[in-house]
C-alpha cells in the first residue's frame, strides 16, 4: 500500500467474510501493533482470532521475536530489529492470518479459574471511605459508602441483579492489564455485559484482591495501588512477587490470556483465611480446570434468539439507567 513519510500504518490485509481488515501499525522502536478493524469495538471473536494467531507465531520460534501482548482486538509484537526485520515479521504474521480461513474453525485453549468473592467487604469499603475523605467528598458514585448502588443505577437494575450477573457468567481474559498480573475480563454471556464509568478523579489506594469494573471490563487488583474502577468486592491473591506459593513458582502471575474466570460468593472471613493460606502458609489449593473454547459452539450460543433477546432487553435498561445516573 502507498505510505506517506509519517504514516504509522506500515501495511494492511483486506477484510474477508470471517475477518476484519488487519492493520500493521508502528508502535515504537522494535514494536508493531496488529489491529483488527479501524473502529474500536469489544468483540470476543476478535480476541479468539488474536489468540490463535498469537499461538501460531509463538510456535515458529522466530529469532528476534521477544514478546507478544495479545488484547481484545490487538496484538503487540516486541522484536529485535537487528535480528528480525519489521517487513519479515509482518510477512510471517500475514501467512499466519491467511492460514486461518474461518473463525468457526478456531478452538482456543482456555483454562477455567474458580475465584471466590466477598461482596461489600470491609477492606474495599475502607478504600471508598478514604476516597470520599481525601479526594472527592461529593463523589456521586459513592452511595451508602460504596459503589454497588451506582453500578446498579447505571445499568437500570438492582444491586442483587448486578451480583447475579457477576456470578452468572464466565469472564474471559483478553490479556494482561494496566497493572502487573492483572487481566481484562469480558462477560462470555452478553446478557451480563455490565457497563459503568470509572472514578473521576481516581482513588489513591485500593487493597490487594479488590474486584472492580470500569467501562465493560472487570479487573482484580493484584497489589495495593491507586485505581479508577468501581469496586464491588474482594477476591483472593492472583499475584505473588515472592513466588513462595507452589502455584506461582514459575510465574508471579495467576492469569494467562484466554483464561475464563468464574466467581462464586463467599464470606469476607473466608477470603481472609485464603489470603493467609496463600501468602503465609502457602498451602491453598487454587481451583483451575484445563479446557477449550470451541468458537463454533460459542457463536451458536451467542447468536441464539434467547441470548440476543436478553441482551437487547438489558441494553434497553442500561440506556434508561444511564440517563438517570449522575455523571462523574
Q: Which residue has the cell 461489600?
A: 120
Residues 116, 90, single domain; the answer is no
User: Domain check: are 69 and 99 in the same one?
Assistant: yes
Q: What pLDDT sits at residue 317?
A: 98
Domain end marker among 79, 103, 127: 103
Domain range for 91 is: 9-103
Its sign, for the CA torsion 97, 98, 104, 106, is: negative
Residues 238, 304: Cα–Cα separation, whole Å: 34
DSSP state of 215: B
Query: What grid cell was written down for 137?
Result: 467528598
Residue 160 sits in a domain whose CATH number is 2.40.100.10
CA neighbours within 13 Å on the CB side: how many for 54? 30
pLDDT for the residue numbered 40:
86
Number of domains in the chain: 2
Residue 119 lies in a domain: yes
**Domain shared by 164 and 269, yes or no:** yes
Answer yes or no: do 256 and 318 share one domain: yes
Is residue 254 within 8 Å of 236, Cβ to Cβ?
no
User: By C-alpha distance, which of 274, 222, 258, 234 is closest to 117?
Assistant: 234
Please give the pLDDT value at position 10.
Answer: 95
Kindly give the parts of the chain with pLDDT less than 50.
1
Q: What pLDDT, in 10s, does the model give residues 112-156?
A: 999 999 999 999 999 999 999 999 999 999 999 999 999 999 999
Last residue of a domain, one of 81, 103, 125: 103
Place of cell 478523579: 201
> How much is the pLDDT for 101?
86
Residue 202 to residue 34: CA distance in whole angstroms: 30
Could you tell me which of 211, 207, 188 has the C-alpha nearest to residue 294? 188
User: Percent helix, strand and coil across the chain, each rounded to 5?
Assistant: 35, 30, 40
Question: What are the grid coordinates assigned to 35, written together?
Answer: 489491529
Residues 51, 8: contact at Cβ < 8 Å?
A: no
State the CATH number of the domain containing residue 70.
3.30.1360.40
4 found inside a domain: no
| pLDDT given for residue 316 in this prediction | 98
pTM confidence score: 0.94
Amino acid at each position: 500500500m502507498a505510505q506517506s513519510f509519517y504514516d504509522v500504518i506500515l501495511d494492511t490485509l483486506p477484510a474477508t467474510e470471517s475477518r476484519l481488515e488487519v492493520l500493521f501499525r508502528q508502535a515504537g522502536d522494535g514494536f508493531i501493533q496488529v489491529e483488527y478493524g479501524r473502529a474500536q469495538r469489544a468483540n470476543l471473536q476478535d480476541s479468539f482470532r488474536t489468540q490463535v494467531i498469537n499461538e501460531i507465531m509463538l510456535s515458529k520460534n522466530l529469532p528476534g521475536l521477544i514478546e507478544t501482548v495479545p488484547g481484545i482486538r490487538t496484538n503487540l509484537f516486541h522484536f529485535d530489529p537487528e535480528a528480525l526485520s519489521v517487513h519479515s515479521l509482518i510477512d510471517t504474521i500475514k501467512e499466519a492470518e491467511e492460514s486461518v480461513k474461518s473463525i468457526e474453525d478456531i478452538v482456543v485453549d482456555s483454562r477455567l479459574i474458580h475465584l471466590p468473592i466477598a461482596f461489600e467487604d470491609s477492606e474495599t469499603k475502607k478504600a471508598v471511605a478514604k476516597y470520599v475523605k481525601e479526594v472527592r467528598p461529593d463523589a456521586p458514585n459513592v452511595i451508602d459508602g460504596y459503589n454497588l448502588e451506582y453500578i446498579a443505577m447505571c445499568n437500570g437494575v438492582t444491586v442483587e441483579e448486578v451480583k447475579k450477573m457477576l456470578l452468572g457468567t464466565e469472564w474471559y481474559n483478553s490479556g494482561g492489564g494496566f497493572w502487573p498480573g492483572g487481566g481484562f475480563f469480558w462477560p462470555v454471556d452478553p446478557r451480563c455485559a455490565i457497563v459503568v464509568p470509572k472514578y473521576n478523579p481516581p482513588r489513591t489506594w485500593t487493597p490487594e484482591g479488590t474486584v472492580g469494573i470500569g467501562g465493560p471490563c472487570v479487573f482484580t487488583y493484584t497489589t495495593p495501588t491507586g485505581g479508577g474502577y468501581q469496586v464491588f468486592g474482594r477476591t483472593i491473591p492472583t499475584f505473588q512477587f515472592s513466588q513462595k506459593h507452589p502455584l506461582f513458582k514459575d510465574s508471579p502471575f495467576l492469569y494467562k490470556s484466554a483464561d475464563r474466570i468464574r466467581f462464586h460468593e463467599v464470606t469476607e472471613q473466608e477470603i481472609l483465611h485464603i489470603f493467609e493460606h496463600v501468602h503465609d502458609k502457602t498451602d491453598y489449593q487454587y481451583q483451575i480446570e484445563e479446557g477449550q473454547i470451541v468458537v463454533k459452539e460459542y457463536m451458536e450460543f451467542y447468536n441464539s434468539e434467547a441470548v440476543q433477546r436478553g441482551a437487547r432487553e438489558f441494553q434497553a435498561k442500561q440506556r434508561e439507567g444511564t440517563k438517570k445516573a449522575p455523571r462523574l
